Structures are given as C-alpha cells and as structure tokens.
Amino acid sequence: MQTVYYLVLVPMVYAAFAVFIFGTAWRLAQTARRPAHGATLQIFPKKDPAWLYAVADTFFMPSILRHSPVLWFFLAVFHLAVALLIIGHLELFAQWRLLQIVPHEVFLGKGFVGLAASVSLLFLFFRRFHAPVRDLSVPKDYYLLILLFLTVIFGSQMDWARRWFDYDVLGVEAYRAYLWSLVTLKPFVPDEIVYSGHGFMLVLHVFFANVFLMVFPFTKMMHTFLALPMNLLKRG
Amino acid sequence: MDSQTREELLKLFQSKLNRAMVYYLETCTRCGVCTTACHVYQSMPQAKYIAAYRAEIVRRIYKKYFKAQGTLWPSYGDAKELTEAALQELYDTAYSCTGCRRCMVYCPFGIDTQMIMSIAKLLLVGAHAEPEILTLLADTSIEKGRSLEFFKEGFLQGVKNLEQQVVAKWKMEAEGKTVIPVDVGGPISFMWPWPVPIPSFQRRRFSMPQKKTGPSVSLKRSILAPLWGIPPAPSSFWTALFRKLYA
C-alpha cells in the first residue's frame, strides 16, 4: 500500500506536471503555427477599445449573464472558487507575504470555497441531464465534470475535517513539508500522510488532480488559455 | 463511400483548418447558451438546429480523423466516420443555417458557427452532394467576375443613359454638376447632394442627448462600459475639442 501511496504522491505528480506543461505548450504552439484567418471575424457593432471588451467578455461572460443568468451565477461562483483554491494551494508551498495581506488561516474562506466549488460543479453536472444541454453533451463532458468533482470533494473534505471538526493529525505543516520536498526535487512523504487515517483522502485527491492535469491539454479545458484570443478575434 | 473519395474530402477539410477554425473546433464547452440564438431553432425547436449541435456534427468528423481520440477512444467524444449518412446530416445542418452569425454574439468564446458550416459546405461540394443550383449560380458569378472588363463599358453606358432621366426630373438641382459620378469611391447617394457619402444613421442613434442621472451613469459609461454591455459615453465637448486640435 505504501508503494502505491509513494507512486501517486511522487512520480505521478512529476509526470502530471510534465504532461500538463509540455502538453499545453505543445498544443498552443501547434495552434499558433497555423495560418491566420484571411478576413476579419469581428462582430457588429465595433466597440473601442476592442481589447478591453475582449477582456471583459472573457472574465465577466456578459453574454451568459444576459441569456442564462442562473448558469452565469454558478459559472461565476465556480471559476472564482477555483481561482481562490489555486491561491490556497500556492500558500501551501511556503509563507507568501503577498497573499497574507488580509491575514487568514491557510485555505481562504474557512472551507466554504471548496463547498461553493462542489455545489456549482454539481449544478453544472446535473444540468447536462436536461434538454437542450443533454442533446449537446458528449460523454467526455460528463467524464471531465466527474473528475473535477472527485478532485474537489476529496480536497475539500480534508479542509472541512480540519476547519469544522477539529481534526488535527494531518495539517498544513505536513502538506508544506511534502510540497516543498517536491519543489526542491528531494521528494519525501511525511509519516502523517502515510500513517494517519486521513492519508488516503490526500492520496485520492492528488491522484485525481494528477489525472486532471494529464488530460488538461487534450480536452476542452484548453478554453482556459484560448478564451482570450478567441474573444479578441470576435472583437476585432 | 470509397476510401479515395474520403481521402479527398479529408484533404478539403484539412485546407480549412486555419488558426481561428482550430480555436472554434477545439474550444466549445457545450454550455448551451447558443440554444436560443438560432432563429431556425426558435421556429423549429429541435436539437439539430442548435448552433453548438450544428458545429458538433462537423466536429465529430474532425475528432475522428484529426485527433488521436478518434482512433484510441472514438466514443469518448462521439467521433463519427465520414459516410454517406454523415454527408446527409451535414447537408441538413449546413443548408438550414442562414449564416447570420447571431450565435457568435451569444457564445462566451465567440465561436463562429457559420465558419464551421463552411467546412460542411466544402465537403458537400467536394462530394457533389450540394444543391446544384447554388453551385451553378456561384460559377456564373465567378465567370462574370473574371471578365469584368468586358462588361464595364456596357455598364457605364447604362449609367449614362440613366443620367438623362435624372436630369429631366431634377433640372434645377442638376444644373452645372456631374449628375452621376462614376469615378468617386465610397457609397454615394442619388438623393443626397453629390458627392457626399450617405451619413451613418447608426452613429446618430448613439449621439442622441442622454438624460443626466448623476455620476454613477458616467462611471458606468466610462472605462467600465464593457461590463454592462452598454455603449461608451458620447464624446463630450472637451473630447471633440481635443480631437479637433490634435487629430
């Protein structure tokens, strides 16, 4: 069992990050190498400055807000929660002064960020069971949402156990030691992770996150990087 | 469909894959916001008329032949082989799309479904399965465009003949002027004092006097305008002056 733990927590993490970084770079480079479209793809009416409208379209999704406000709400909650969770994970690497401008315990939001992400993911998942989105969906849409949900729920529940139920065997110190050893290329898995009753939750979280990172460059997740260039095309 | 035809059709498909097209084919998240955008769907609410579904019909063939998943795990993304049945499906979707690009405005990524439909149409033309009258008309137009010089003189003569009638009708206005100028660029109106271009009525709508309702409106209409989806503030006296001085 410990070998499986080690394989997931160390070699697979390196592999996942390698696939994520090189895969994404490769995909983006491959797309950028293709010839540009001959004519303008700008929509009417022209807005000035175009780049500002493109940025607003990308980050605030005004067309969704207008045509499907409920979806917009959950999308906004989900994307915001993901952004906060990324910040939370950055704080696990070390003490970042910059991120502690508003002093808080590590993982912003007292566990509610993870809850918001899980609930909005459930919304996004279950709306795919209803027409007309059901008719549009293909299997990989469901797979991706399930994968994301598993990642978020196993990650969040570690936070919930600490914040809401006073679980204190496995905590930020262990995560920090583990992550820092990965960054400095001296991989080491603390005993708390291997032997505590909660360790397998972390292993599952890391496992699903690894799988997610590995499939990232080859799925529609690339919209993370392509949304802005596409909206720039639209705004001209 | 024999394999040689398929190869040729896929070559045609490949020729359409520029950067924008790949963005459009790769990025759709199938969120369904474009559902109500299509006026064909509005009158016939069937899934096959949803913009994302139209694009998906082309995208399925793209997944099958231009992505690894088409070989490794076709059912993962519903990849589909290019067959006679697929062509029929392409026909139904391509020629029920008017190419109005309304769905592009709805799409949070600005996916141009009309452009994806151009692949479907190219494949159909390549397979000689398109509505023949359209190709005939297009060929005629192209042929005429090739020998434009040949038709130019006759066209100019036609315009000259028209001039006589205009002069007969508007004697006063036409006096001492080139009645129908044929060597001026840009849109020219017959009913407007020549050769002034037609004014833009769109612009006039936006410069109508706005009711003042306090500073919040001006803030809304400033740099934050894209957030609310409203047009930015009409240019004030100061910006007009600035433009006059420094333009």
Which residues does residue B188 pair with via DSSP β-bridges, in sequence order?
Answer: B197
Predicted TM-score of the model (pTM): 0.77
Asked if pLDDT for residue B134 goes beyond 80, the answer is: yes
Across the interface, which of B78, B109, B226 has its CB nearest the CB of A47? B226
Residues sharing a CB contact under 8 Å with residue B149, sequence separation 6 or more, in sequence order: none
pLDDT of residue B196: 47
Nearest CA in chain A to B57: A136
For residues B54 and B117, the answer to whether their CB atoms sit within 8 Å is yes
Across the interface, which of B17, B50, B202 has its CB nearest the CB of A132? B50
Q: What is the mean pLDDT of chain A?
A: 89
Nearest CA in chain A to B59: A138
pLDDT of residue B235: 55
Distances, alpha carbon B87 to alpha carbons A24, A127, B119, B124, B128, in Å: 33, 31, 12, 7, 10
Query: Which residue pairs from B111-114 have beta carbons closer than 8 angstroms and sit at least 24 positions apart in sequence?
Result: B111/A230, B111/B23, B111/B24, B111/B27, B111/B28, B111/B34, B111/B51, B111/B55, B112/A41, B112/B20, B112/B24, B113/B34, B113/B51, B113/B52, B113/B54, B113/B55
Q: Do B110 and A57 touch (CB under 8 A)?
A: yes
Confidence band of B225 (pLDDT split at 50, 70, 90): low
DSSP state of B226: H
Parse chain A into domains and list their residue ranges: 2-235
Asked if pLDDT for residue B204 goes beyond 60, the answer is: no
Across the interface, which of B50, B52, B109 has its CB nearest the CB of A227? B109
> For A146-184, how does the pLDDT look when each residue is reduced to its tens digit (9 = 90+)?
999 999 999 998 888 888 888 877 778 888 888 888 888
To 5 degrees, how large is the angle CA B7–CA B13–CA B16?
150
Smallest CA-to-CA distance from A171 within A183, A185, A159, A188 is with: A159
Across the interface, which of B32, B227, B231 has its CB nearest the CB of A132? B32
Using a CB-CB distance cutoff of 8 angstroms, which residues of chain B are in contact with residue A48?
232
Asked if pLDDT for residue B194 goes beyond 60, the answer is: no
**Interface residue B110 vs chain A (CB under 8 A):** yes
pLDDT of residue A196: 80
ipTM for the predicted complex comes to 0.88
Q: Which of residues 29-58 of B touch A (CB under 8 A)?
A: 29-33, 35-37, 47, 50, 52-53, 56
Higher pLDDT, A234 or B204: A234
**Number of residues assigned to chain A:** 236
On the CB side of B184, CA atoms within 13 Å amount to: 13
Q: Which two tokens stand for residue B206?
A: 């936006």
Say how far apart CA A175 and CA B64 lie, in whole Å. Answer: 42
Nearest CA in chain A to B34: A67
Is the domain defined by A2-235 classed in CATH 1.20.950.20? yes
